[in-house]
Amino acid sequence: MTSHTILLAEDDLTVLTSIAIFLREHGFEVTSVTNGQQALDELSAKTFDLVLTDIVMDEVDGIDVLKSVKEQSPNTMVIILTGFGEINSAIDSLRLNADDYLVKPCEPQELLHRISACLQKLELKKEKHRAEVALKESEAKYKNLIEFTNDIIWSMDIHGDYNYANKAATRILGYETDEILNRSAIPDVHPDDRDLAQKIMEMSIKEQCGWDAVVLRWLHKDGSVRYMESTATPVFDSTGKLTGFNGIDRDVTDSKRAEEERFKTKKLESIKVLSGGLAHDFNNLLFIITGSLELIKDELASGSNEMNFISEIESASKQLTGLVKELESFARGVTTETIIDSPTDILKKFIEHARSSSDTKYSSYIAEDLWPIEFDATQIHQVIKNLILNAEYAVEDKGNIEISAKNCHADDACVTNGLIPKDEKFITISVKDDGTGIPKEILPQIFDPYFSTRQRGSQKGMGMGLATVQSIVKNHQGKIKVETNLGEGTTFHLYLPVNKNKTIPKVPEKHDPAISKTGNILVMDDEPMIRNVVCGFLEKLGHKAVVAGSGEETIETFKRAINSNAAFDAVILDLTVKNGIGGKQVIEELLEIDPDTRAIIASGYTNDPIITKFQDYGFKGALTKPYNHNELKEMLDKII
């Protein structure tokens, strides 16, 4: 252990020497001087634990030394040595904060006792100082933790008025500290959650308890909504009376919105599955209707009343087919018939058509050098159509619609605001109207299926338009942005990625087909009405049709034909069959029997992998319902 240091100032050499020897014998480190000036010099050079000084010395006395010590090193202990006749001066020194005094001559053990007592006081002062420093450091540390944590740490009284809130409150809710203190928290809660917040507060006061992980919506100073998860504990005074609550509020907005997005995604997926199934059933029914109409027309005279009625039904069927395609576009997980090209011509043609079929004023700017993109022309046509219909509804034939398309460069807002990556190329298609704009409260809902502000009915809206737009744009790996202001209008911006292969593939030239061949065709479908339509088409084309209502029957019929040397020239298989094996399983069996089987897969499911990649499953072609007899003819001409 380090020995204590003592400065001994005494002008009597005999006393000085005897005291110095005594103290050193007891383990002290002693520096001895014979006058006050020397003492001051030593004090300016180093710090001592204790100063033992004679009160009367030439030039600089003990009082001067005492004053210097207390100014330079307040924690250093000072004992005044005085003669009997100088007792009053010694008492005066105590008033100047001397720690003790001794009257010379004194017993060595008394001197040792006094020095030990002062040094104990010194250690206590040092320990107290260390504790105070540690406390301040701890307070600063925890204050720092509290002030700069990501969570709001607060304290409030039983009336719900804040008496403390850390800086996170400003960062999360936008209010400065002086705007938060001494005011109730309830008005900052979302109006729809205020009753719940009030009930929680009242129950906690009644039950003398806190609350745990309660999620409420709070209003930011700018009016936006934040989700806060709040936990609080009760605070009691010394008598056990509840005085308020201390708590922590965590901003869970991002996780809550992510949770909502996951729920929305699951909901959308469920709707997509339902939509896909409905589209399949509609396509089968449409095939029966449109196919039957096509066959009936051959039996009627042109211009007859019956033919006029047939034309009306055909027109309605075409509209229904368009609605089903929109349903398919929404339900489709991937695009199908894509091309790589600049969309300039498609956009110009559509705008020209829109101008000719509407009283709305249109203006447009379509860049001539639009970069090529990979896209499904039918789906992009559907996107532009839906956005224009939406804009026309907004302006009510009284306003203006502006359509533009351009290449998106690195310095454009879409890049600088982080919407699309800087190292990717996109084209921008924008549809702008000067209508009423979209209210802020419904903006998050505009892409939800079946949400609509329009009247229900034909050409009015079923709420699928923008949901379809979003689904198609997403399937094209694109992005969509909406800008709107009430009373000023709305702009939809579509960002579609540029195809990295700059070469636009050449479209093969169409040649006149050779003279159609006829043959024996095996048709499998579990719907008798569909079989009848297909047979009617085949007979109209000069083919002979044999029908089967199930996969098992198809396989047996095919085997019999092979065994009797009357093999079928082609087979048309429905993809799905109720309570039996469908086209995928049947073609496997048929190819085992005859590897040269020429089969066509047909289905109302337009996005099934077997339809889009039929070759991978052994088929020679694919037909999506509803198809007409010309499409069937082209397909059979290719494979027979």
User: How far is it, in rounded angstroms, from Cα 94 to Cα 63?
Assistant: 10
Query: Tokens at residue 517, please?
Result: 């061949």
In contact, 345 and 366? CB cutoff 8 Å: no
Dihedral of CA atoms 104, 109, 112, 114 in degrees, nearest 10, equals: -70
Strands 152-157 and 242-251: antiparallel
User: How far is it, in rounded angstroms, from Cα 338 to Cα 636?
Assistant: 24
Q: Whole-number mean pLDDT of the chain?
A: 84
Residue 572's φ and ψ, nearest 5 degrees, are -110, 115
Q: Which of 620, 519, 621, 635 is nearest to 567 (CA)?
A: 519
N-to-C CA span, the chain: 108
Predicted confidence band of residue 5 (pLDDT cuts 50, 70, 90): very high
- For the cut 60, the answer to whether the pLDDT of residue 16 exceeds it is yes
Q: Which of 389, 236, 244 is nearest to 326 (CA)?
A: 389
Residue 519's φ and ψ, nearest 5 degrees, are -170, -175
Neighbours of 632 (CB within 10 A): 22
Predicted confidence band of residue 579 (pLDDT cuts 50, 70, 90): confident
Q: 33-55: per-residue pLDDT in tens?
A: 999 999 999 998 999 999 999 88
User: How far is it, in rounded angstroms, from Cα 24 to Cα 472?
Assistant: 95
Q: pLDDT at position 156, please? A: 92
In contact, 494 and 487? CB cutoff 8 Å: no
Q: What is the 3-state secondary structure (H, E, C) of 305-356?
A: HHHHHHHHHHHHHHHHHHHHHHHHHHHCCCCCCEEEECCHHHHHHHHHHHHH
Q: 451-497: per-residue pLDDT in tens?
A: 666 554 444 444 567 877 888 888 888 889 899 998 889 999 999 99
- For the cut 70, the answer to whether the pLDDT of residue 206 exceeds it is yes
Contact partners, residue 364, CB within 8 Å, separation at least 6 = 348, 351, 402, 403, 404
Q: pLDDT at position 334, please? A: 44
Q: By mean pLDDT, which of 30-44, 220-234, 243-257, 600-614 is the weakest?
A: 600-614
pTM confidence score: 0.49
Q: pLDDT at position 323, please? A: 66
Contact partners, residue 617, CB within 8 Å, separation at least 6 = 584, 587, 601, 610
User: How far is it, in rounded angstroms, from Cα 189 to Cα 219?
Assistant: 6
In contact, 13 and 34? CB cutoff 8 Å: yes
Amino acid (one-letter) located at 588 = E
Q: pLDDT at position 487, please? A: 87
Residue 623's φ and ψ, nearest 5 degrees, are -125, 135
Q: 95-142: per-residue pLDDT in tens?
A: 778 888 888 888 899 999 999 999 998 888 888 888 888 888 777 777
Q: 257-301: per-residue pLDDT in tens?
A: 888 778 877 776 776 666 666 777 888 888 888 888 888 887 776
Q: What are 622's strand-pairing partners?
A: 601
- For the cut 60, the answer to whether the pLDDT of residue 197 exceeds it is yes
Residue 366's φ and ψ, nearest 5 degrees, are -115, 115
* Burial of 34 from C-beta contacts in 10 A (0-12 / 13-18 / 19+): middle
Contact partners, residue 16, CB within 8 Å, separation at least 6 = 8, 10, 32, 34
The three-point CA angle 475-275-315 to 5° equals 100
Q: By mean pLDDT, which of 77-81, 349-353, 485-489 is the weakest?
A: 349-353
